[in-house]
Amino acid sequence: MADTIKIELTEKAKGLMGAVASMPDWGIEAFARGMDKANKMAVRNIMVKHLTGKGPFPVAEHKLGIVSGNLMTQSYASPATISGTTVASEIGSPVKYAEWHEFGLVFTRKGRTGTARLHTDAKGKLMRQIGHENLAVFAKAVHKAGRVKEVAWKSEDHEVTIPERAPFRTGIKEVLGDYGRIVSREVVAAWKAKT
């Protein structure tokens, strides 16, 4: 899935681009250079503000905590590409669950069945967790025979919802004004080099 975000140039850069009959190659190339610089800044912003800390965080914060570090270390911005008068690039991560957290996901988990091995005392009574008397203690593989009770269990099909946190889109939108300034600076510098 992708989301398109448009960059607004400063009035000076708009004037320079509008002063020529058609979008010149130098202007498009300058735009792409500026986008590459702005993308690096946006990825840093996303990593620092939206992919750090110890979660879980409220959904409204648009933030994911670090578990393995894969999402943060594999976040990237692709180099800007030019097609006619369109300049495009993407910011994202190849980590499978990045899209789930960015756009949300609802799926059905199929029910399962199995057997739980629970630890018992010498009389066959289930051992309980200290401080949690309603929870049994799972038996280890090495527990003595007669000190284990096997209990069948079954779970039903159920729906799982991963909320849309949008850490990438939020991080980009936070610096969108900077995009316009950085790209505009490149366009103005290219114009000055041509004149």
pLDDT reported for residue 21: 47
Q: Is the pLDDT of residue 13 over 70?
A: no
Give Cα 24 distance to the centre of its chain. Answer: 36
The angle at the Cα of 32, spanning 28 to 36, to the nearest 5 degrees, equals: 170
Cβ partners under 8 Å of residue 129, min gap 6? 135, 136, 137
pTM of the model: 0.73
pLDDT reported for residue 122: 83
Which residue, among 188, 195, 180, has the nearest Cα to 12 in the 3D structure? 188
The C-alpha atoms of residue 192 and residue 13 are separated, in whole angstroms, by: 11
pLDDT reported for residue 16: 60
Mean pLDDT of all residues in the chain? 87
The C-alpha atoms of residue 119 and residue 133 are separated, in whole angstroms, by: 14
pLDDT higher at 8 or 123: 123
- pLDDT tier for residue 1 given thresholds of 50, 70 and 90: low
131-186, pLDDT tens digit by residue? 998 999 988 877 666 688 888 999 999 999 999 999 999 999 999 889 888 988 99
Give first-to-last CA distance, the chain, whole Å: 42
Strands (E), the chain: 76-77, 81-83, 86-88, 91-92, 105-109, 113-119, 128-129, 132-136, 148-154, 158-162
Which of 4-13, 55-64, 116-125 has the weakest average pLDDT? 4-13
pLDDT reported for residue 23: 64
